Amino acid sequence: MSAAEVPRLILCGERVKLRTPQFQDADRSYKWFADPEITRYLPLAGRGKLPMDAIREFIVRVSRSDSPELAVSIEAEGEYIGCGGLRNIDCESAELSIIIGEHRFQGRGIAHEAAMLLLGHAFRTLGLKTVWLIVRGDNQRALKLFERLGFVRNQLLLGAVVVDGEPKDKWKMTLSREAFQGIEHRISPATGR
C-alpha cells in the first residue's frame, strides 16, 4: 500500500477534520475543479478544468512524507468537502490556500474553522511569523473570510490576471503571528465573531 492510500489525521476541530489527501478524493476534486462556480476566482478561471492526471499526480506528490508543502483534505460530517493547505513554506512564512468544493458546506463557517486550524499549525507548530495569500479583488466571499481571520490587504496587484479577455486585480494579504493570537483569543468558535 502506498503512502497516498493511508490518510493521516493532521488536525481536528469541532466540526472539521483535516487529513492528508488520498486517492479516493480524486473524483470529487475533479468535479470541483471542473465547476466554474468553484474555479471562478482561482488561477484556473477561464482555462477549463483540471485534468484527472494532474489531480492524481498532486495527491501522490503531497502525500509523500518529505513533501515541502502541507496539503490537506477538509472533512465535515464525515464527507470530503474541500481542500487547502500551506505552501511556499520557508523559515518565516507560508502561503495559505482554501477551497470549499461542496456548495452546501459554504457559508456555514466551515472554511473559517479549517483556516483557523491551518493558521494554528503555521504559527504554533511551525513557528512561522507570517502567513500570506493572494486573492482576486472581486472574490467578495474570500475577502470577507480572510478579513474576519485578521488578514490585511497590503499589496494591490493591478491587472494581475486576464480572465476571458478582462484584466482582474488581486490582493496580497498577510497575517502576522501577533494579529492571529489576538483574533484567536477574541473570536467565539460558535459564531466565528
Cα–Cα distances (Å) from 131 to 38, 99, 168, 174, in that order, read 23, 17, 23, 6
Neighbours of 161 (CB within 10 A): 16
Q: Which amino acid, residue 39?
A: T
CB of 72 to ligand COA, least distance (A): 13
Q: Which of 4/102 has CB closer to ligand COA?
A: 102
CB of 179 to ligand COA, least distance (A): 17
Q: Which amino acid, residue 21?
A: P
CB of 15 to ligand COA, least distance (A): 8
CB of 114 to ligand COA, least distance (A): 8
Q: Which of 111/122 has CB closer to ligand COA?
A: 111
How far apart CA 128 and CA 90 sit, in angstroms, is 8
Q: Which of 122/145 has CB closer to ligand COA?
A: 145
How far apart CA 45 and CA 79 sit, in angstroms, is 26
CB of 1 to ligand COA, least distance (A): 31
Q: Which of 57/147 has CB closer to ligand COA?
A: 147
Q: Which of 8/103 has CB closer to ligand COA?
A: 103
CB of 121 to ligand COA, least distance (A): 17
What are the cell numbers at 113?
A: 474553522
Q: Which of 2/140 has CB closer to ligand COA?
A: 140
Binding region for ligand COA (CB under 6 A): 38, 41-42, 98-100, 106-112, 133, 135, 139, 141-142, 144-145, 190-192
Q: How far apart are the first and last CA of the chain?
A: 43
